[in-house]
Amino acid sequence: MQKNKPYLDSELKLGNLAEQLGYSSNQLSEVINHETNKNFSDLINEYRIREAVNMINETNEKPIFIHVAMDSGFNNKVSFSNAFKKFMHCTPTDYYLSRKEKVTL
């Protein structure tokens, strides 16, 4: 996941990833559930949000969040914002502003 970053593909599906890895969809789903206690969607979105956070942290200017969303593997800004709130407990804008405040103190 970290080396090839398949989660950046906005069209990624469980079946596609399973096929790439030589597993059935059921086998891969079981492994993900057992090893991470997450479902496939949550696991992929967690990786995507980590990617987005890295992008936000690397910029000194306010990011264009639709670009961050697309570059981190999301299909649209709404899905990105919902996943960001789920994993980071704040909006992307709030995260960016709080990060900037911490940096300037």
CA 13, 16, 18, 20 dihedral sign is negative
Class of domain 6-104: mainly alpha
> Reduced to 3 states, what is the DSSP secondary structure of residue 17?
helix
Nearest to 13 by CA among 44, 52, 49, 50: 44
pLDDT at 39: 97
Question: Cβ(55)–Cβ(72) under 8 Å?
Answer: yes
Q: What is the residue extent of each domain of the chain?
A: 6-104
- pLDDT of 2 > 50? The answer is yes
More confident residue, 24 or 102: 24
Whether 8 and 72 have beta carbons less than 8 Å apart is answered as yes
Mean pLDDT of the chain: 92
Instruction: Say whether pLDDT at 104 is over 60.
Output: no
Write the pLDDT tens digit of every residue in 9-46: 999 999 999 999 999 999 999 999 999 999 999 999 99
pLDDT of residue 101: 60
Give the predicted TM-score (pTM) of the model. Answer: 0.90
